[in-house]
Amino acid sequence: MNNRNEIVSPFNQPEQLYAAVDLGSNSFHMVIVRVAAGSVSIIGKIKQKVRLAAGLDENMNLDEASLERGWQCLSTFAERLQDIPLANIKVVGTATLRLAANVQQFLDKAEDILQHKIDIISGEEEARQIYLGVAYTSANQGNSLVIDIGGASTEVIVGNDMTPIHLTSLNMGCVTFKERYFADGMVTDEAFTEAIHNAKALLAPVKDDFISFDWQQCLGASGTPQAITEILITQGISDSIRLDYLYNLKQQCIDCVNIDALDIVGLTEARRAIFPSGLAILIALFEELNIQNMQISAGALREGLIYGMLDNMQQNDRRAETLEQMMKQFHIDAEHAHRVKNLALLLFKQVQQQLDLKKVDCEASLIAASMLNELGLHIEYKQHHKHGAYILSHVPMVGYTQQLQNGIRVLVLNHRGDINLNDFQPFASEVREKLIVLLRLSRLACLLSIRRKDKLLPKIKLTIQDNDWILTFPEGWLKAHPLIDAELANEKWQQHKVGWKLLCQS
C-alpha cells in the first residue's frame, strides 16, 4: 500500500463539511455531510456502478477495463472533495481491493487522482464500520443482528446500541456469486439451489456464533436488502423483509428465465444483473440464522466512517435529535408538540397494562407521530395531515428504520378527519394491529389538547374491553368543557364508521 503522506490543504476551508468514500466491489459511494450546531445533515451523495469485482481474473488481477472504470469514477469524486478539508475525508477500499493481486497499480493512480490516501480495510474493520453506520442511523434497541451483502463480501454483526459484540466478513457477494452461478445469464432453480447451498457452506463455520445471541431485531444495510425493500414498497407492501417474500421473489426470477428479461415491479435496472445472486445469499442467511424478518437501515459503511470521525456524536440520542431538527425545519410549535406527546404517553402507559404491545417499537412511533402531527401546518391548515404525510414520505429520519418511518407517516396522515384503514393494509397483521392502537391514542391526544393549554385536563382513565375504549372523566368535567365534549362526540362517530367503539363517561 502506498505510504505517501497526505497532501496539506492549500487553503483554509470551513471544517463543518465531512466526506466518506467507500470503494466497494460493485459500486463506489461518496457521502458528504454538514455538521452545524451538533446536527448532521447529508448534503450530497454520489454512487457509481464500477463493478470492480467483475474485473478479477483467474489470477486475482483486476483487468484494465475495471481499473479504468474505477479511476474514471474517482475523477468525478475528486472535484467535489476539493471543497472539503483533508482531515475531514476518509477513503477506504473493501473486499475486491483486499483480494486484488495488482491492488498497488490501482492505488498509485487512484491516490494521485484523489490527492488523498486510501486505506484498504480488513473484513473485520469493514464489518465494524458498517455496524456503526447502521447503529447510528437506526438507533437500535437491545441486541441487533446486522447484515450487509456487498459485491464480493458479506458482513454479519451482532451488537448492542453503538457497540459491535461479534462480527465476521465472509467471502461471498452479489458480484462474485453472479460470476460463479449465473455467469451465462440464465436464472434457473438449479443455479439458485447451488448458490444457496454454497452460501450456507461458507456461513457454516460461524453460524452457531450468531445463533447463540438473542437479538431483538435484524437490520439489513444497503445492497440487496435495500433493493428488496424498494420492490416491496413499490408493490404496496410497507413491511419488513420476510422469508416467504424472498421465496416469492426467487420464483419470479426463475419465471423470467434470463437476467436480461427480469421483470419484477420495483426492481431497478441498475440492480437487475446482480439481483438473483444477492437474493440467493440472503435466502441462505435467513434460513441458516433463523431470521424471521429484516428491516432496512438508512446507514452502512460510509455512514459509519462519517460518524467515526465525529467523536462527539455517538452519545447523542439520534431520535430526539431528529425530531428536534424536524420541528425547527418545519416550524412546528415545540411546546404544543411536547404537550401532545406527554398526553399520548400517559394514555399509552394505561394501554400497555391492558394490551400486548411487544414486537413493534410502539413508544418511539407514538412519540414521533405525536410530535410531528402538525408537520404540514406551515403549508396550510385544511389538509395539513396530508402535507405532513407527504413530507414524511420524502424526508429521511435518522434513528428510525424504514418500517418505523412508514408507520409514523400513516399515523400522521390519519391523526385527524376520516380514518382510512386501507392505509394500514400494506403492513403485516401484527404490525397493523399495533399501529391502529397507536392511531387511536394519537387521535385522542391531539383532540384532548385542542385548547393548547397546560394543566387543563383532569386525570383520565382509559379502559379497554375488546374493541371498545372507555374514557372516564371526573364527574361533571365534560359538561363544564363543551368544546372538548363536542370534539369527543365527533371522534366517536369517526371511529364508529370504521367499526370501533369509543365511550366517554364522567
Q: 334-379: per-residue pLDDT in tens?
A: 999 999 999 999 999 999 889 888 767 889 999 999 999 999 998 9
| pLDDT greater than 50 at residue 15 | no
Interacting residues of 132 by C-beta distance below 8 A, sequence separation 6+: 162, 164, 303, 304, 307, 308
Q: Is the pLDDT of residue 312 over 60?
A: no
Quick one: how far is CA 157 from the chain centroid?
A: 16
Element (H, E) at 371: helix 362-371
pLDDT band at 124 (very low <50, low <70, confident <90, very high): very high
Q: Quick check: 461 and 475 in contact, CB under 8 A?
A: no
Rounded CA separation 487/119 (Å): 62
Q: Is the pLDDT of residue 315 over 50?
A: no
Is 235's pLDDT higher than 90?
Answer: no
6 neighbors 117 (Cβ within 8 angstroms)? yes
Q: What is the band of 141 on the pLDDT scale with cuts at 50, 70, 90? A: low
Q: How confident is the model at residue 9 (pLDDT cuts 50, 70, 90)?
A: very low
Query: Quick one: pLDDT at residue 3?
Result: 42
**pLDDT value at position 336?**
95
Q: How many CB atoms lie within 10 A of CB 110?
A: 25
326 band by pLDDT with thresholds 50, 70 and 90: very high
Highest mean pLDDT among 235-239, 464-468, 495-499: 495-499
CA distances from 235 to 203, 283, 393 (A): 31, 20, 16
128, 20, 38: which is closest to 77 by C-alpha? Answer: 20
Q: How many helices (DSSP H) and strands (DSSP E) are in the chain?
A: 19, 14
pLDDT score for 480: 94
Lowest mean pLDDT among 6-20, 273-287, 401-415: 6-20
One-letter amino acid at 161 equals D
Q: What is the mean pLDDT of residues 75-103?
A: 91
Provide the pLDDT for residue 37: 66
